[in-house]
Amino acid sequence: MMKNIMYFLGSLLIAVAAAFFVNTWLGGFDSPGYVLIGIGHWSLETSLIVFSVSLIMGFFVFYIFFRFLGWLLRLPGQIKNRGKSIKFNRSQEALIAGLVDSAEGNWEKAEKVLIKHASHSGAPLIHYLTAARAAQSRGAYDKRDEYLRKAADQAPGSDVAIGLTQAELHLSDKQFEQALETLTRLHSIDPTHASVLKLMHQAYQQAGDWEGIRNLIPSLNNNKVLMEAEIKLLETEAYSKLLKQAAERGNADEIESLWSEIPDYIRNMKGVSAIYFAAMIEAGAGARVEGGLARALSTTWDQTLVVLYGNIPSIDIAKQLETAEQWLPMHPRDAIFLTVLGKLSMKCGDNQKATTYLTKSLSIEPTVSAYQQFGDLLFAQGDKDRASECYKQGLELASSEIVSRIDLISG
C-alpha cells in the first residue's frame, strides 16, 4: 500500500514539475502561440501554454487511471494468493504442532490438527504419514489406512516412502503377512533399497520365516545393509533354525540336503553341527552320521557331541565302542565321556567294563546320567538294593540342580 502511494505522489510531483517548467518556458516568449483543434463543425482554440499544461496533466490522469485499473484487475489474484499464503503458514504451524503432539503421545489431537491443514500444506505427505502413525497408536486402523490412501493420492511419486511407513505400522502391530506383502511390492520396485531390505529382514525374523531370511541374505550382504559380522551371525541363526525345523519334520533326506547347502564356516561351528547330528539321530538316520560325528570329535572335542555319539544306534556297536576308546588316552578324566563309554559297554554286553567306566565317572564328577546308567546296570545284574540307592542319589542330585537354578533365577 505504501509503495502505491509513493508511486502516486512521485508521478504527481513529476507532472506538476513538468507543467511548471513548460509554463515558465513558453511564458518567456513574446508570442506564446496558440493551438487550434477542429472536429467537424466544432473547433477548439487555446493558448499553447494551456494546451501543454493540460496535455501533461491529462497524461498524468490517464496514467493513474490505467494503473488503478491494472490494480483492480490484479486484486482478485492477490487476494487469492494472500489467502493461500495464510493457509500455507497455518499448515506449517499445524505440522509442527502435530509433530509435537505425536512426540508427547497426544495422538488424537495430533491427528486432528494434521488432517485439518493437510490439503493446504506444501508437504501433505508428511501430514498424512504422521497422522497415520497417530491413528495406529490409538488403535484406529481404519483411519490409518484411509490416511495412507490419501497420502498416495496427494503424492503419487512417493510409493516407497508410503509403503515403508505402511510396513512399519503393520510390523509394530505384528501384522507380518501384510507387512511382507507391502515390502515384497516395494522390493520389486527397488531391489537395492536399504530400508526396504532392512524391514524385510525384521519382518521375516519376527514372523519366524527363516527360509525367507536365508534367501534375503545375499541382498543384505551385496547392498551393505548389515555389517559383515552381523550377516554371518544372521546366517548362522537362520541355518540353525532351519535345521531345527527340518528336525521337527523328521525327514532325514531333507536334513542332509539342507546340511549340504550350509557354508563350511557355519558347519564347523560346534553348536550348529550338534543340531545336525541330533536331528539325524532323531530322524532315525544316526548310522549315516556316525563316521562324520567321530571325525568331528577327533578334530574338536565337545561334550555335547560325545553324548550324541553315545546315542547313535550303530549297526556295529563293538566298533562304535572301539572308536570311542581311542579317545580315552586324551580325555581320561572326562566324566561325561566315561559315562558314554559305560553306556556303550552295556550295549556290548561287557558289564565289567561298564562298571569300571561308570564308577570312575561318578568318582570324578557325579552326574544324574551316570547314576541312572549305573542303576540300570546294577538292576540288570540283580542288585536291586544298590540300584535303588543309585536312582535315589540321582534324584537327589537332579533336585539339587533344580533348586540351584531356581535360586539363580530368583537371585
Instruction: Return d(Cα 312, Cα 248) in angstroms, integer.
Output: 18
Tell me the average pLDDT of the chain: 81
Instruction: Return d(Cα 121, Cα 400) in angstroms, integer.
Output: 69
Residue with cell 522390493: 187
Instruction: Return d(Cα 194, Cα 65) in angstroms, integer.
Output: 63
Which tens digit of pLDDT belongs to each residue from 258-290? 999 999 889 888 789 999 999 999 999 999 999
Task: Check residues 160 and 339 and name the one with the higher pLDDT.
Answer: 339
Which tens digit of pLDDT belongs to each residue from 177-224? 999 999 999 999 889 999 999 999 999 999 889 999 999 999 999 998
Which tens digit of pLDDT belongs to each residue from 45-74? 665 556 666 666 666 666 666 666 766 676
Q: Which H/E stretch holds residue 306?
A: helix 303-311
The pLDDT, as a whole number, for residue 161 is 86
Which tens digit of pLDDT belongs to each residue from 119-143? 566 567 777 777 787 777 777 778 8
| Dihedral sign for Cα atoms in the order 182, 187, 189, 194 | positive
Which tens digit of pLDDT belongs to each residue from 217-263? 999 999 988 898 999 999 999 999 999 999 999 899 999 999 999 99
The pLDDT, as a whole number, for residue 156 is 72
Task: Check residues 8 and 129 and name the one with the higher pLDDT.
Answer: 129
The pLDDT, as a whole number, for residue 256 is 94
**Homologous superfamily of 316-411:** Tetratricopeptide repeat domain (1.25.40.10)
Question: Is 26 a residue whose pLDDT tops 80?
Answer: no
The pLDDT, as a whole number, for residue 30 is 56
The pLDDT, as a whole number, for residue 127 is 73
Euclidean distance between the first and final Cα of the chain, in Å? 79
Question: Is 296 a residue whose pLDDT tops 80?
Answer: yes
| pLDDT band at residue 146 under the 50/70/90 scheme | confident
> Can you give the residue ranges of every domain in the chain?
316-411
Using alpha carbons only, give the angle 265, 266, 272 rounded to the nearest 5 degrees.
Answer: 145
By CB neighbour count within 10 A (0-12 exposed, 13-18 middle, 19+ buried), where does 123 fall?
A: middle
